[in-house]
Structure 1
Amino acid sequence: MSSTIPCRICAGPVQEFFDFGRQPLSDAFLPVDADFSQEFFFRLAVGVCGTCGMVQLTEEVPRDRMFHEDYPYFSSGSAYMREHFEGLAKRLLTTELSGGDPFVVELGCNDGVMLGTLADSGVRHLGVEPSASVAAVAAGKGVRVRTSFFEEATAREILAEDGQADVIYAANTLCHIPYMDSILAGVRALLKPTGVFVFEDPYLGDIVERTSFDQIYDEHFFFFTASSVREMAARNGLELVDVERLTVHGGEVRYTLAPAGQRQPSEAVAALVAEEKERKLSDLTTLRAFGENVLKIRDDLTALLTRLRAEGKSVVGYGATAKSATVTNLCGIGPELVPFVCDTTPAKQGRLTPGTHIPVRTPDAFSGDYPDYALLFAWNHAEEIMANEQEFRAAGGKWILYVPEVKVV
């Protein structure tokens, strides 16, 4: 393993600790008549910086390959997530956006699930979204959207048109972006001295604790901790002033950054940094142990599916998620083990999963003739899904989960 890869935050040495091997673009669902020889693959490996502690991918996928006009993910697809973002919007209305003529900018606003509530309240806003398909849905909700990638030049154009922002917000977006120096320079330029930059992303502490290795895929470049975010902020004229643990998407943290010296950091910041130090979260020993746990899940899951096939049991996938690409390709799970996967997203239906080419079907294929087992790729929505699929359980169906370990429920 090489330690010569420079960190994308501080240029320090990044030591690789796990290699997922050859992986496809996680959201590149293929037409059934696709030329598979043209499918894009890259080496998905992850490492940790010995200087600032930032965990990151060691190979960057060009952003235009991932986020484009046909991007198939819509944040409003989950009722739980709709409630999550509506709750945040209402909180911001009573806190950071309670002054005169407040202005909020969201990076990667997707289909406008958060900004829609603020737009309905008359708050001046702008969503910056590079994927035209989801941006169009946001615009249809009355959200003002700019279809582009956010970087320093974008921020300065917004500043010239709209003035400084009280809040800049991003959800499940910042971790996607390797060019963090340009992002944070843009945030500094666009943010009021009294403003805040709030973002929430998957938390490395939860990924390691739960061995939720499928959170690692092409679109997730950085895996944040309070410690690494504090370092990243300090190198860019900002300061980590608050953290909040979230249960969404299998465990996230909402980070609040402010211009350096403008706000007193909360006690929660010091507490989470201390917890991470005690857990040795950025140590190679800890991260390599995580890798060993990943390999155990891989072996256990493939053994279970192989046994069920030999017993003549029917198994289908539930949720053609982006993160399922990591699971199916690492484990070698194709149509011979899982004949199809059901998903509610029309843009994915009738296509094939990336890399392993499992057909994606509508939910009717699941409920029309229930299988013996359902492999739950969308495990982060397990409670919501299982509540909606009680008839499957009543018919004798069982769920296969693989986070934090392989089990049948």
Structure 2
Amino acid sequence: MEPHESTCRICGGRVREFFDFGRQPLSDFFPSPDQVDEEFFFRLAVGMCDACTMVQLLEEVPRDRMFRHDYPYHSSGSQRMREHFADTARSLLAGELSGEDPFCVEIGSNDGVMLDVVRQAGVRHLGVEPSGGVAELSRAKGIQVRTAFFEEATAREIADEHGPADVIYAANTICHIPYLDSVFRGVDALLAKNGVFVFEDPYLGDIVARNTFDQIYDEHFYLFTARSVQTAARRFGFELVDVERLPVHGGEVRYTIARSGARRPTARVGELLAEEALGGLGDRGTLEKFGIRIRRVCDDLIARLRELHDRGFYVVGYGATAKSATVINYARIGPELMPFVHDTTPAKVGCLLPGSHIPIRSADELGPPYPDYAVLFAWNHFEEIRVREKEFTDRGGRWILYVPEFRVV
């Protein structure tokens, strides 16, 4: 099949496909056995804009289908991430939120893990969260939350009610939003004159270098680089003034955006732009080579699972993650090769993985008799999981990983 093209959502340039994962389900809809007919499927293909180099999906999934009232992801579900967001909040409180009567707005505040620290410091705040279930969890902690999608109209209403924001923050959210034009216009309406828009998302440079291809799924509409973020910001009267590499989720970058002329960019911006240019991150050939590695890893994974099945070994999965949908459905892994996936999220237990319909069991059920192997889909929490499931390995169990390449540990 010939690669497809689309129009860039940022600059209107030509977006040319470099990889097609085929027919994929919503990654965060875990159906119960009687909901399998309700699944929504789309073509998961990814391309790069010839003009601004923004990497993006070619097909947009309606936001109301992804971010429903019962959205199952909880930001506080990992100890490591709880510590990360607490550190982030403390850093903001010591810096940008240390002035007189500061105001912090978080886009996609989820269950309030970051804003709770801001609340405890007595700082004015507001979470903007479209998924009602996790928004209610925030409110139960005393956090101020508006159940809505962040866009220009929402931002203007917030500014009218609360005044300008010193910090607009988002984590693993901005890459979800195809309509970045409305987001930036909203930031323009809400941000204080010398305020900052700070967001952190999966970094294309790390995704390519570490072959973490399963970071490409329906919710991740954009895969950012410093260059593409800088270009997008300038189109809306802003400037990229700082970047920070983060070790979470397989590698992210925290971008700090300010109004044009308000702040001088740090040296780190120029350094990361130079690194991207040297590594060919804006070159189509680099991404095509990345696609070759994706195919090889998935071929290796499915071949090994079939071999283990034929030899009578018992293999399960661990981590009913959103990104597991990409690899499982692309590699066509089904219950015949992996009868269960274990997960620590109570709301997912008893449901099925999207598309493949592999049943989800509680992680507490991973016990004697232990399986021979477990495919780790939550690879970004490997160290935390390895400690939790120490008895599995002590009893001879082995982990199968596929990032950055197929291996057994």
Alpha-carbon contact 2:301-2:402 (below 8 Å) kept: yes
Moved over 3 A (4+): 1-4
Deviation at 1:142, TM superposition (A): 1.2
Deviation at 1:4, TM superposition (A): 4.4
Which amino acid is 2:83 matched to?
Answer: E
The whole-number CA distance in structure 1 between the counterparts of 2:266 and 2:389 is 42
Match of 1:167 in 2: 167
Indicate the SS of the match to 1:367: coil
Indicate the SS of the match to 1:307: helix
Match of 2:8 in 1: 7
The whole-number CA distance in structure 2 between the counterparts of 1:334 and 1:303 is 13
Match of 1:283 in 2: 283
Deviation at 1:388, TM superposition (A): 1.5
Match of 2:22 in 1: 21
Deviation at 1:370, TM superposition (A): 1.4
Alpha-carbon contact 2:3-2:18 (below 8 Å) kept: no
Alpha-carbon contact 1:55-1:282 (below 8 Å) kept: no
The whole-number CA distance in structure 2 between the counterparts of 1:3 and 1:394 is 48
Match of 2:192 in 1: 192
Gaps of 5+ in 1: none
CA RMSD in angstroms, aligned pairs only: 0.9
Matches within 5 A, 1:369-380: 369-380=369-380
Match of 2:118 in 1: 118
Match of 2:392 in 1: 392
Q: Structure 1 length normalisation: TM-score?
A: 0.99
Alpha-carbon contact 1:18-1:45 (below 8 Å) kept: yes
The whole-number CA distance in structure 1 between the counterparts of 2:338 and 2:173 is 31
Instruction: Tell which deviates more after alignment, 278-287 or 124-133.
Output: 278-287
Deviation at 1:2, TM superposition (A): 5.1
Deviation at 1:33, TM superposition (A): 2.3
The whole-number CA distance in structure 2 between the counterparts of 1:3 and 1:282 is 19
Match of 1:301 in 2: 301
Match of 2:249 in 1: 249
Match of 1:268 in 2: 268
Identity %: 64
The whole-number CA distance in structure 2 between the counterparts of 1:313 and 1:364 is 21
Deviation at 1:49, TM superposition (A): 0.3
The whole-number CA distance in structure 2 between the counterparts of 1:74 and 1:252 is 18
Instruction: Tell which deviates more after alignment, 249-258 or 341-350.
Output: 341-350
Matches within 5 A, 1:82-231: 82-231=82-231
The whole-number CA distance in structure 2 between the counterparts of 1:79 and 1:222 is 27
Deviation at 1:389, TM superposition (A): 1.3
The whole-number CA distance in structure 1 between the counterparts of 2:35 and 2:224 is 36
Deviation at 1:5, TM superposition (A): 1.2
Indicate the SS of the match to 1:167: strand
Match of 1:344 in 2: 344
Which amino acid is 2:7 matched to?
Answer: P
Aligned length: 408
Gaps of 5+ in 2: none
Alpha-carbon contact 2:400-2:407 (below 8 Å) kept: yes
Matches within 5 A, 1:28-107: 28-36=29-37, 38-107=38-107
Which amino acid is 2:314 matched to?
Answer: S
Alpha-carbon contact 2:217-2:323 (below 8 Å) kept: yes
In the TM superposition, what whole-angstrom CA distance separates every residue of 1:46-105 from its partner, at most 9, and x where no partner exists? 000011010000000000000010100000000000000000101111100000100000
In the TM superposition, what whole-angstrom CA distance separates every residue of 1:137-193 from its partner, at most 9, and x where no partner exists? 111111100000000000000000000000000000000000000000000110011
Alpha-carbon contact 2:5-2:58 (below 8 Å) kept: no
In the TM superposition, what whole-angstrom CA distance separates every residue of 1:247-282 from its partner, at most 9, and x where no partner exists? 100000000000011000000000000110111112
Match of 1:326 in 2: 326
